[in-house]
Structure 1
Amino acid sequence: MTDKRQAVHFLISGGLSVQRACALLHLHRSTFRYAAHPRDDTQTVTHMQRLAAQHPRYGYRRMHILLNQTEHVNHKRVRRLWRKHRLQVRRVVRKRLRRERPARLLAAYPGHIWAYDFVEDALADGRKVYILTVMDEFTREGLALDVAQSPSSERVLGVLTALVAQHGAPGYLRSDNGAEFVARAVQVWLAECGVQTLYIEPGKPWQNGKEERFNGTVRDECLNLHVFSSLAEAHVRLSAFRQHYNTERPHSRLGYLTPLAFKSAWLEAQAKLSNPNIPT
């Protein structure tokens, strides 16, 4: 607006009338002749600053109400002065202490760390089924794909008991904080077997990344390809897939060996290292 007033003055100095100059620049004559009358807001601003100090979490709307208890102030004026003098409510940024967390334990040999989780699916008639997946983090071997219509700590104990009888107890067992895994019965049984638990932090499934990757493979290469008509069919197909996964499917993280082939090669290499009579 100031630039237009200066342009009007320039045209008037060149001989044009005020009316013609304003018309050319599309500026109303009353606007051209308007003279601002600055108001002394010192007293109001001082009052606002004092109230803002007393009530640091109040915004300009509440401040307008408080100001009008002693003087009449338009709410637009309060907002303008509020912004001009930067009296807005400041966001409270709390400093979060970064807690030192222990380094994530990595599997160093077969049977060192197992991981388990539940995967949800449904039968053809809509009934939900829950697949308990158990895998060895070092060899990536799928140890169990147990399917049932409900998850429970009793079921977890049954599967773990059978696996320990077949493979021996692992050193550690990694899982999330699901009710079935943190149940006291499960913790007592694991302690009796000498198995230590590795519970991941809530909301951080990537801390159980190998198990999540195994679950994704089960879903992508088995569950998404079949519609199970019954629990028995689901059991048969999942058992067949586990056999295929362990003995036929090349695994990219194992140098494209199958889990059982990788396990066999690792054990053979360890045997050679422990026996100096075997040439390498």
Structure 2
Amino acid sequence: MEHFKKTKKKISFKKETKSGVPSNYNEFWSMDFMSDSLFNSRRFLTLDIIDDYNREAIWIEIGLSIGVIHMTDLLEWIVKERGKPRAIRIDNDPEFTISIFTNWCHKHRIEIRYIQPGKTTQNAFIKRFNRSYRTEVLDARIFLIEVREITAKWMEHYNNDIPNETLQNISPIQYL
């Protein structure tokens, strides 16, 4: 009986510029998954998507599971609503390396910018956003419906009212 060694897919990493700050709206988006648990220990996921230019929260998807088909359908809807990014900056989670996602990006001519493993600073905008979102929303919530309702209100507040130090102390929407 022959044994076949499973090989891991190689991912090419583009060298990020020093600042990594885009010069325009929809130039770079960053995406990341987060997980948390409810009062009954049931795990849920969030898929967080921001525009790196003005740090705007484009969308936060919340669910008990978020599959790659659901993710690409969501991205399709977002692209129809606001236009597509030139590139998406992500880590090399399996959901982002699977062919369904990479083919969707290729079809839309969206460059995929994988960060190097262990180099979270290459995706610092989404990591900072995730920290704020976890502190202000997730840490205090116990029901999934509550997480969804509070998230919608928090995104509105974050985008319109919260000054960002890196944006001359104005909100993402004011910066835009």
* TM-score normalised by structure 1 residue count: 0.55
- 2:41 maps to 1:114: no
* Structure 2 counterpart of 1:35: none
Alignment coverage as a number of residue pairs: 161
CA distance in 1, matches of 2:70, 2:117: 23
Partner amino acid for 1:194?
Answer: R
Q: Secondary structure at the match of 1:109?
A: coil
Aligned counterpart for 2:153 among listed residues 227, 232, 240: 240
Structure 2 residue ranges without an equivalent (≥5): 1-13
Match of 1:228 in 2: 142
Deviation at 1:123, TM superposition (A): 1.2
Q: What secondary structure is seen at the aligned counterpart in 2 of 1:143?
A: strand
Q: Distance in 1 between matches of 2:99 and 2:150?
A: 32
Q: Which runs of at least 4 in structure 1 moved beyond 2 Å after TM superposition?
A: 101-106
Quick one: which of 15, 21, 30 aligns to 1:102? 15
Asked whether 1:174 is paired with 2:89, we answer yes
Contact 2:34 2:47 survives alignment (8 Å): yes
- Classify the secondary structure of the residue corresponding to 2:141: coil
Of all paired residues, the percent bearing the same amino acid is 26
Spell out the pairing of 1:202-217 with structure 2 (5 A cutoff). Answer: 202-217=117-132
- Counterpart among 54, 60, 72 of residue 157 in structure 1: 72
Matched residue SS, 2:53: coil
Bigger strand share: 2
Distance of 2:102 and 2:53 partners within structure 1: 23
Query: Residues 103, 235 of structure 1: CA spacing in aligned structure 2 closer, same or farther, 3 A cutoff?
Result: closer
Say whether residues 1:201 and 2:116 are aligned partners.
Answer: yes
**Greater C-alpha Rg:** 1
CA contact (8 A) 2:32 2:48 kept: yes
Structure of greater relative contact order (alpha carbons < 8 Å, 6+ residues apart): 2
Question: In structure 1, how many angstroms separate the alpha carbons of the residues matched to 2:15 and 2:113?
Answer: 11
Shift of 1:159: 2.0
Name the CA distance, whole Å, in 2 between partners of 1:242 and 1:172.
22
Write the deviation string for residues 210-242 of structure 1: whole angstroms up to 9, x where unpaired: 110111110111112x2222x222111111111
The alpha carbon displacement at 1:103 in A equals 4.2
1:151/1:180 contact within 8 Å kept: no
Root mean square deviation of aligned Cα:
1.3
Query: Residue 255 of structure 1 corresponds to which residue in structure 2?
Result: 168
